[in-house]
Amino acid sequence: MSKRLVHPALAQFAAATAGRNMTTTAYAAVTIGVGTMVLLTIAPAYEAAHHWVDAVLWACLAYFVFEWAVRLHHAALSERGWAYALSGRGLVDTLAAVAVPLAIICGVEPRTAWLLCVLWVLKVVPGIPGLRQLRRVLALESGPLLSVLVIFLMVLSLASVAVYFFERDAQPAAFGSVPATLWWAVVTLTTVGYGDVVPVTLLGRLTAAVVMICGLGVFGLWTGILATGFAAETRRDNFLKTWESVSKVPFFAALGPAAIADVTHMLRTMDLPARTMIIRKGQAGDCMYFIAAGEVEVDLPGKKVKLGEGAFFGEMALLGNNLRSANITTTRVSRLLVLDLVDFRLLMARHPDLAETIDVEANRRALENK
C-alpha cells in the first residue's frame, strides 16, 4: 500500500509500534489484559459481566496481533525478518499473539486458554532498563555465582543422604528414600521451614542445624556477589557518563586522558530542572560547579549574568571567603559537575595550570563585582 493511502495518524501509530520500546498503548493493553484475565478467574464476576470480559480480552489480543504483524512487516522491509523473529523480543511478541488462539484451536476450553494471557507480561521485560544491567552483572559474575551454586548442590546432596541415613528407621514414611529427603533438604537449606517434615533423632536435628547455617551462608554469598557486581557496574556507568560530561567542558579540554580520568573520579554529576536554586547568597561554600550542559543565572548587585555550557562558578568561596556572594539559579534543564572542597584542593595541587586558570577567572570576576 502506498504511504499516501495511509492515514497520517495510522502511519505514526504504526511507526511507534514498530519501534523497539514499549508504547504507552502497549503498557495499557498489558495491564488491562492481565487484569481482565484475573477477573475471568473469579466466577461471580465473570458470570455477571462475561460479555465485557470477553470483549476486552479479544480487543487486547487483537492489538498484540496487530503489533506483532507491524513489527514483522517492518523487519521484513529492513531485511531483518528472521533476525527479529528469532530474537527474544520477536519470540515474546509471537507468543503474545498466537498462544491463546492456538490453544483455542487445539480444543482447550476458552476460559483455560485465556490464562495464557499471563504471557503478555513478558512484553514489558525489554522496556525495563535495569534488566540490561542485571544481564551484564550475571555475565561478569557468572564464575563466582556458579561456584556458589555447586556448593549449594553439594550441601543439598550431602544433607539428603545424611538425613536419610539418620531418619529412615524413625520416619520411614517421610524419609524412606533419598528423593523423599530432597524436599526436606531444599526447604531447610533455603531456610523456608515449612515444618511439614522434620527430623526427630538427635543426629538428624544436628544435621538440620548445620544445613540451615549453610543455607544462610550460601544465600549470603549470592547476595554479596550480586551486590558487589551491581555496585561495580553502577560505578562504571557513572564514570562513563561523568567522563563524557567532563570531556565536553572547555575548561578541561587541554587535559590529557590520564588527567581527565583523575578529574572524573573527583567529580559528581547533578541534573537539575529549570528555575532551581543552586547557591544562596550568604551560605557557606564547600564546593564549586562546572556547567556540562544548560545555563545558570548569577544574581549580582544591579545586574544578572548568565553562564552557559563550559563555564564554572562557586570557586570564590573555595579560594577566599567561604561565604557565597550571589544567588545562582538554573534557567533551563542543566547538568552540573560538582567538585568538593577537599577534591578541589587536591586537584589544584596536582594540576597547577588549572589552579592558575581558576585564579585568573576568580580575580576577573572579583573586579567585575566591585
Query: Can you give the residue ranges of every domain in the chain?
Result: 3-127, 142-233, 250-369
Instruction: Give CA–CA dist 334/39, Å, rounded.
Output: 46
Instruction: Give CA–CA dist 94/72, Å, rounded.
Output: 10
Stretch 325-348: mean pLDDT, rounded? 84
How many residues belong to the chain? 370
* 142-233 and 250-369 have identical folds: no
How do residues 42-77 score in pLDDT, each as one tens digit?
888 888 888 898 899 999 999 999 988 888 888 888
pLDDT at position 5:
44
Label residue 88 left, alpha or beta by phi (over 0 means left) and psi (-120 to 50 means alpha): alpha
Q: What is the DSSP string of 162-216?
A: HHHHHHTTT-TTTSSSHHHHHHHHHHHHTT----SS---SHHHHHHHHHHHHHHH
pLDDT at position 74:
83
Q: What proportion of the chain, given as a percentage, has pLDDT over 90? A: 17
Class of residue 316 by CB neighbours under 10 A (exposed 0-12, middle 13-18, buried 19+): buried
Amino acid 45 reads: A
Could you tell me which residues are beta bridge partners of residue 337?
269, 290
Instruction: Give CA–CA dist 344/319, Å, rounded.
Output: 10
pLDDT at position 315:
75
pLDDT at position 239:
77
What is the signed CA dihedral for 265, 271, 277, 280, rounded to 10 degrees? 0
pLDDT at position 8:
54
Stretch 265-277: mean pLDDT, rounded? 86
pLDDT band, very low/low/confident/very high, at 10 (cuts 50, 70, 90):
very low
Highest mean pLDDT: which range of 165-169, 244-248, 311-315, 320-324: 165-169
Question: DSSP label at 312?
Answer: E
pLDDT at position 160:
92
pLDDT band, very low/low/confident/very high, at 370 (cuts 50, 70, 90):
low
Could you tell me which residues are beta bridge partners of residue 303?
300
Q: Look at the block and give the residue holding cell 531483518.
A: 80
pLDDT at position 15:
53
Stretch 23-42: mean pLDDT, rounded? 87
pLDDT at position 67:
87
Question: pLDDT at residue 163 above 60?
Answer: yes
- Give which of 165, 174, 176 is closest to 203, Cα–Cα: 165
Instruction: Give CA–CA dist 286/317, Å, rounded.
Output: 7
Stretch 84-110: mean pLDDT, rounded? 87
CATH of domain 142-233: 1.10.287.70
Question: pLDDT at residue 354 above 60?
Answer: yes
> What is the Cα Rg of the chain in Å?
31
pLDDT at position 237:
78
pLDDT band, very low/low/confident/very high, at 164 (cuts 50, 70, 90):
very high
Q: What does pLDDT average to over the chain?
A: 82
pLDDT at position 292:
82
For the ranges 58-67, 148-157, 356-365, which has the lowest average pLDDT? Answer: 356-365
Residue 199 near residue 167, CB atoms below 8 Å: yes
pLDDT at position 18:
54
Highest mean pLDDT: which range of 77-81, 194-198, 222-226, 299-303: 222-226
* Sheet of 296-300, strands arranged across: 277-279, 327-330, 296-300, 303-307
pLDDT at position 2:
42
Pick the CATH number of 250-369 from 3.60.15.10, 1.10.3470.10, 1.10.1060.10, 2.60.120.10: 2.60.120.10
pLDDT at position 151:
92
Amino acid 236 reads: R
Q: Is 340 helix (H, G, I), strand (E, B) or coil?
A: strand
Instruction: Give CA–CA dist 232/225, Å, rounded.
Output: 11
Question: pLDDT at residue 336 above 50?
Answer: yes
pLDDT at position 365:
66
Question: pLDDT at residue 21 above 60?
Answer: no
pLDDT at position 81:
74
How do residues 102-139 score in pLDDT, each as one tens digit?
999 998 998 899 999 888 888 887 767 677 778 888 88
Q: Which helix (H) or strand (E) holds 336?
A: strand 334-340
55 Cβ contact list (under 8 Å, min separation 6): none
